[in-house]
Amino acid sequence: MTGPLAFDRVILLVCDSMGIGEMPDAGRFGDEGSDTLGHVLEHRRVSVPNLRSLGLANIRPLPILPSEAPLGAFGKAATASDGKDTTIGHWEMAGIVTAKAFPTYPEGFPAEIISRFESAIGRKTLGNYPASGTEIIKQLGEEHVRTGFPIVYTSADSVFQIAAHEEVIPLEELYKYCRIARGILTGPHEVGRVIARPFRGETGGFCRTEARVDFAVEPPSPTLLDRLSERNLASVCVGKISSIFNYRGVSRKIEAKNNAASIDGTLQAMRESGRGLIFVNLVDFDMLYGHRNDVEGYARALEYFDERLPEIESTMEPGDLLMISADHGCDPVTPSTDHSREYVPVLAWGRRLRPNTDLGTRSSLADIGQTIAENFGFRLDAGRSFLREILP
Integer Cα distance of 279 and 168 in angstroms: 35
H or E element in which residue 126 lies: strand 126-130
Among 98-102, 182-186, 240-244, 265-269, where is mean pLDDT lowest? 98-102
Task: Name the residue ranges covered by the structural domains of the chain.
Answer: 9-100+217-390, 111-216
pLDDT at 185 (0 to 100): 97
pLDDT at 121 (0 to 100): 98
Mean pLDDT of 133-158: 94
Percent of the chain with pLDDT over 90: 93
Question: ∠336-193-33 over CA atoms, to 5°?
Answer: 20
Q: What is the pLDDT of residues 265-321, one digit of tens each?
A: 999 999 999 999 999 999 999 999 999 999 999 999 999 999 999 999 999 999 999
pLDDT at 1 (0 to 100): 44
Mean pLDDT of 16-30: 96
H or E element in which residue 198 lies: strand 193-200
For the chain, what is the radius of gyration of the CA atoms? 21
Alpha helices in 196-258 (DSSP H): 224-230, 241-244
pLDDT at 4 (0 to 100): 54
Q: What is the pLDDT of residues 332-390, one digit of tens each?
A: 999 998 899 999 999 999 999 999 999 999 999 999 999 999 999 999 999 999 999 99
**DSSP reduced 3-state for 6:** coil
Q: Domain 9-100+217-390 belongs to what topology? A: Alkaline Phosphatase, subunit A (3.40.720)
Average pLDDT, the chain: 96
pLDDT at 155 (0 to 100): 87
CATH 3.30.1490.20 fits 111-216, yes or no: no
